[in-house]
């Protein structure tokens, strides 16, 4: 699969979200970080903002739920217009049921792992998912330094995906930039979230193109 770049609006101006979405036209998905101040120590936005954003842009939305009780909330983000919904396995009560529900409602189902959560216990769940997200920072804030110690986990996950012959996207999120994206791609990631590296650039759309070119080597 060609490399995908998903700009994270966490690094955008929240008072101008529609314009900020337009500024990265050409991106594969817009990454929307939902935080509840319980699962992570930060608070961002919820269902009504996602509903409005889905109407304001043609770019599909990739909602990353950093919240407690995703079993209750994730389906509502599909109804709000998200094309892909990611829940954290550390917060989900019933990840298989939840992934099936997200798919049944018509979105791509994705599961995220915090840095200290291993992939191995979840090998048998992979066929239930359309994407797996490996966090390369502790979730909660943009602009943090990329954790190089996550590269072996990315590599092992890519091996599991190949071993099972799955069509599963492998996303990385946190500290992805011109300085780190090549290492992620080499380890086997194919979907790259970038917040500060895109919205901190003078020309966000050009930053998306440059990151994609770098990831594709
Ligand atoms: C962090 C969020 C990320 C964040 C990435 O918890 O999940 O999506 O926006 O920002 P950067 O790319 O600046 O690390
Ligand atoms: Zn995110």
* CA 173 to ligand 2 centroid distance, Å: 6
Burial 53-82 (b: 16+ CB within 10 A, else e): bbeebebbbbbbbbbbebbebbbebbebbb
pLDDT tens-place string over residues 79-133: 999 999 999 999 999 999 999 999 999 999 999 999 999 999 999 999 999 999 9
For residue 199, the model assigns a pLDDT of 98
106 annotated ligand-binding residue:
no
For residue 80, the model assigns a pLDDT of 98
* CA 195 to ligand 1 centroid distance, Å: 5
33 catalytic? Reply is yes
Torsion angle of the four alpha carbons 53, 203, 86, 35, in this order, in degrees rounded to the nearest 10: -70
Decide yes or no: CATH 3.20.20.70 for domain 4-216.
yes
For residue 140, the model assigns a pLDDT of 98
Ligand 1 atom closest to Cα of residue 194: 12
For residue 56, the model assigns a pLDDT of 96
Is residue 57 within 8 A of residue 21, CB to CB? The reply is yes
* CA 31 to ligand 2 centroid distance, Å: 7
33 annotated ligand-binding residue:
yes
Which of 33, 62, 130, 190 is flagged as catalytic? 33
Q: What is the mean pLDDT of the chain?
A: 98
Segment-wise mean pLDDT, segments of 10 residues, the chain, 217 residues: 95 97 96 98 98 97 99 98 98 98 98 99 98 99 98 98 98 98 98 98 98 97
Q: Which residues surround the ion ligand 2 when the cut-off is CB under 5 Å?
A: 33, 64, 173
Is residue 35 within 8 A of residue 140, CB to CB? The reply is yes
71 catalytic? Reply is no
Q: Residue 179: which residues within 8 A CB-CB, separation 6 or more?
A: 146
Quote ipTM for the complex.
0.99
């Amino acid at each position: 699969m060609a490399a995908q770049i998903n700009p994270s609006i966490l690094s955008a101006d929240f008072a101008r979200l529609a314009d900020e979405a337009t500024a990265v036209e050409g991106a594969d998905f817009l990454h929307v970080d939902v935080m509840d101040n319980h699962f992570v120590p930060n608070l961002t936005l919820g269902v009504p903002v996602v509903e409005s954003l889905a109407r304001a842009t043609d770019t599909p939305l990739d909602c990353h739920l950093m919240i407690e009780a995703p079993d209750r909330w994730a389906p509502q983000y599909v109804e709000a217009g998200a094309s892909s919904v990611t829940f954290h396995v550390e917060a989900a009560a019933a990840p298989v049921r939840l992934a099936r529900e997200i798919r049944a409602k018509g979105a791509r189902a994705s599961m995220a792992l915090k840095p200290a959560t291993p992939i191995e216990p979840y090998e048998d769940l992979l066929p239930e998912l359309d994407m797996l997200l490996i966090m390369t920072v502790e979730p909660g804030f943009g602009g943090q330094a990329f954790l190089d110690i996550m590269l072996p986990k990315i590599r092992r996950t890519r091996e599991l995906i190949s071993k099972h012959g799955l069509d599963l996207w492998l996303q990385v999120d946190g500290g992805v930039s011109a300085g780190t994206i090549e290492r992620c791609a080499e380890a086997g990631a194919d979907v790259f979230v970038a917040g500060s590296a895109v919205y901190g650039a003078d020309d966000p759309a050009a930053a998306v193109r440059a990151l994609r070119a770098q990831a594709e080597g």
